[in-house]
């Protein structure tokens, strides 16, 4: 008889954990408090973004996660785009950093190219050529529509791995070998809590002592007025160079970050770095900002959206784009530099959380590793 496992939370971390547990032989039930996933897992770019992960364990985890994404997508017909990414340089110090990263990434065996202005334009017709020096292209990045992808993964787990989902039930208590869903106790041999930004709900005293916070981001979605518009590779401005951990390896990054602090203090105050990607449907996702704290204003700041758009115009031609949606999302993030939180508060109970903004990129690989450890 199979052992039973319960996963609390049907975001990307919970879904990845349910998959890993099922493949290890558990009879898995996922319990989600809402009628469908509506949290941070559907409020993002849909980027599977290996280039942002540093060499070693994290980059390997990202590549493993991407392979799982592709396997699920190919099994279900989930649309995805292996569009790659281009980080652009419009200033000499940005170009110096990109050249350094190219040499470092090439030595690691990553699929990267250093492009001049014309090379960048070939990768993306949307790039602004004015003052463009060049860019760093990476072939490894993949885009899905997270709204469709998260629902598709749940359906995949149900059909192919016999995972059971209980929607619209909020777990209010967890004990060794059982959880309470508001109406009844459900027993299991193993319990995984993957509840995202609701991390303090079940173990408030425990989380009060953990170095974890919440990040609010603002994003927008556009549609081009040009029929069959193709962005090409996902585009990133120079500010993204000080956001991702993998870029810290560049010797000249510190000097670039200092210039940004001197000249773009308001952008850094709100943690703004600007990227644009395109889903299979043609919609263009733009963002984002990063505000940290345990409690956030539920409303978007128009000033932040305007800062994002001002910077976007520096490296992308957007005159024919129409705004169709604007939103914010909140995700948990470790404050001690760790890539995630994995702990066991009691017998047979595990918590997996705190992936920051890398849930889409790392969850599948990380969940496999954590389940293998238990």
pLDDT, mean of residues 117-144: 97
Question: Is residue 56 in a domain?
Answer: no
Question: Is residue 113 in a domain?
Answer: yes
Per-residue confidence at 197, pLDDT binned at 50, 70, 90? confident
pLDDT at residue 125, rounded to an integer:
87
pLDDT at residue 333, rounded to an integer:
96
162 exposed, middle or buried (CB, 10 Å; 0-12, 13-18, 19+)?
A: exposed
Between CA 149 and CA 311 the distance in angstroms is 29
Same domain flag for 297 and 225: yes
Same domain flag for 129 and 224: yes
Same domain flag for 293 and 368: no
pLDDT greater than 90 at residue 199: no
pLDDT greater than 90 at residue 187: yes
Between CA 286 and CA 223 the distance in angstroms is 11
Question: Is residue 354 in a domain?
Answer: yes
Same domain flag for 167 and 193: yes
For 282-292, the pLDDT digits (tens) are 999 999 999 99
**Residue 197: C-alpha distances to residues 86, 116, 142 (Å):** 31, 41, 25
Same domain flag for 161 and 126: no
* Percentage of the chain lying above the pLDDT 70 cut: 100
Contact 124/224 with Cβ under 8 angstroms?
no
Same domain flag for 358 and 279: no
Question: Is residue 309 in a domain?
Answer: yes
Between CA 363 and CA 102 the distance in angstroms is 26
pLDDT at residue 9, rounded to an integer:
97
pLDDT greater than 90 at residue 25: yes
pLDDT greater than 90 at residue 176: no
Give the other-Cβ count within 10 Å of 337's Cβ. Answer: 7
Per-residue confidence at 308, pLDDT binned at 50, 70, 90? very high
**Residue 214: C-alpha distances to residues 179, 211, 338, 341 (Å):** 25, 11, 14, 13
Same domain flag for 226 and 354: no
Contact 221/318 with Cβ under 8 angstroms?
no
pLDDT greater than 90 at residue 1: no
* Percentage of the chain lying above the pLDDT 90 cut: 97
Q: What is the CATH number of the domain that holds 217?
A: 3.30.9.10
Taking alpha carbons only, the member of 359, 132, 304, 355 closest to residue 235 is 132
DSSP string of 161-216? H--EEEES----EEETTEEE-SS-EEE-SEEEE--GGGTTTT-HHHHHTSSEEEEE
**Residue 373: C-alpha distances to residues 21, 215, 324, 344, 367 (Å):** 11, 28, 44, 12, 10
Residue 323 lies in domain:
85-139+212-334
For 100-118, the pLDDT digits (tens) are 999 999 999 999 999 999 9
For 337-374, the pLDDT digits (tens) are 999 999 999 999 999 999 999 999 999 999 999 999 99
Same domain flag for 284 and 315: yes
Same domain flag for 112 and 219: yes
For 28-82, the pLDDT digits (tens) are 999 999 999 999 999 999 999 999 999 999 999 999 999 999 999 999 999 999 9
Same domain flag for 205 and 217: no
Whose structure tokens read 């005159």?
Answer: 319
pTM of the model: 0.96
Q: What is the CATH number of the domain that holds 177?
A: 3.50.50.60
Same domain flag for 230 and 288: yes
- What would the two tokens of residue 80 be? 């995805």
Question: Is residue 72 in a domain?
Answer: no
Report the chain's mean pLDDT, rounded to a whole number: 96
Question: Is residue 64 in a domain?
Answer: no
Between CA 29 and CA 157 the distance in angstroms is 10
Same domain flag for 229 and 156: no
Question: Is residue 58 in a domain?
Answer: no
Question: Is residue 201 in a domain?
Answer: yes
Count of domains for the chain: 2
């Amino acid at each position: 008889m199979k052992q039973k496992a319960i996963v609390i939370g049907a975001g990307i971390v919970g879904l990845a954990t349910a998959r890993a547990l099922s493949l290890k032989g558990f009879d898995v039930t996922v319990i989600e408090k809402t009628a469908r996933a509506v949290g941070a897992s559907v409020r993002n770019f849909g980027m599977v973004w290996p280039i942002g992960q540093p060499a070693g364990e994290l980059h390997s985890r990202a590549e493993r996660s991407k392979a799982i994404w592709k396997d699920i997508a190919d099994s279900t017909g989930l649309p995805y785009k292996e569009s790659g990414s281009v980080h652009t340089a419009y200033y000499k110090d940005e170009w110096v950093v990109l050249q350094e990263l190219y040499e470092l990434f090439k030595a690691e065996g990553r699929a990267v190219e250093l492009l001049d202005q014309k090379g960048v334009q070939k990768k993306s017709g949307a790039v602004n050529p004015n003052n463009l020096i060049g860019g760093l292209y990476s072939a490894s990045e993949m885009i899905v529509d997270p709204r469709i992808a998260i629902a598709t993964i749940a359906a995949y787990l149900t059909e192919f791995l016999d995972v059971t989902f209980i929607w619209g039930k909020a777990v209010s208590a967890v004990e060794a070998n059982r959880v309470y869903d508001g109406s009844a106790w459900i027993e299991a041999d193993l319990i995984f809590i993957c509840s995202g930004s609701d991390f303090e709900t079940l173990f408030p005293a425990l989380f009060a002592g953990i170095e974890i916070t919440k990040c609010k981001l603002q994003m927008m979605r556009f549609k081009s007025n040009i029929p069959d518009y193709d962005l090409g590779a996902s585009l990133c401005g120079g500010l993204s160079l000080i956001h991702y951990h993998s870029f810290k390896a560049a010797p000249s990054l510190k000097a670039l970050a200092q210039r940004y602090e001197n000249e773009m203090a308001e952008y850094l105050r709100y943690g703004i770095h600007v990227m644009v990607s395109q889903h299979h449907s043609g919609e263009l996702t733009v963002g984002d900002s990063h505000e940290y704290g345990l409690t956030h204003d539920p409303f978007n700041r128009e000033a932040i959206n305007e800062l994002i758009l001002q910077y976007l115009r520096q490296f992308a031609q957007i005159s024919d784009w129409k705004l169709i949606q604007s939103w914010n999302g909140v995700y948990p993030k470790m404050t001690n530099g760790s890539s995630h939180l994995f702990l066991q508060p009691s017998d047979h109970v595990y918590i997996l959380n705190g992936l920051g903004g890398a849930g889409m990129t790392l969850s599948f690989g990380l969940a496999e590793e954590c389940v293998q450890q238990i």
